[in-house]
């Protein structure tokens, strides 16, 4: 609760710190093979069913699931999300279609 009501409306300032996005690749992923071949991937299926890919540029973490779903966190813009997912696909050897 506000202790002292503002006599004039407030103008809150905000900054986007983290965007969470999901994507479906439409292919099945072999998480064991990915963890062995791709640097910066952690996969411990006893603790969590997804592999974790940490990118440095753009700075983002992607959760990769066997069914081809991806969760991207840590990006600060839609452009960074797109760049992170495209970079992940490249690392995984998945060709990305370009929209014109």
pTM of the model: 0.84
Predicted local confidence at residue 11, as pLDDT: 86
Predicted local confidence at residue 1, as pLDDT: 60
Q: How far apart are CA 18 and CA 60, in angstroms?
A: 9
Contacts of 73 (CB under 8 A, 6+ apart): 18, 19, 20, 60, 61, 62, 63
The predicted model gives 24-47 an average pLDDT of 96
The predicted model gives 56-63 an average pLDDT of 95
């Amino acid at each position: 609760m506000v202790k002292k009501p503002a006599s004039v409306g407030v103008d809150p300032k905000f900054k986007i710190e983290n965007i969470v996005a999901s994507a479906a690749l439409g292919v099945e992923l072999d998480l064991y093979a990915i963890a062995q071949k791709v640097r910066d991937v952690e996969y411990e299926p006893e603790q969590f069913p997804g592999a974790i890919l940490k990118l440095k540029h753009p700075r983002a973490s992607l959760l990769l699931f066997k069914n081809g779903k991806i969760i991207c966190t840590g990006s600060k813009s839609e452009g960074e999300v797109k760049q992170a997912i495209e970079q992940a696909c490249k690392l995984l050897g998945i060709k990305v279609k370009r929209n014109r």
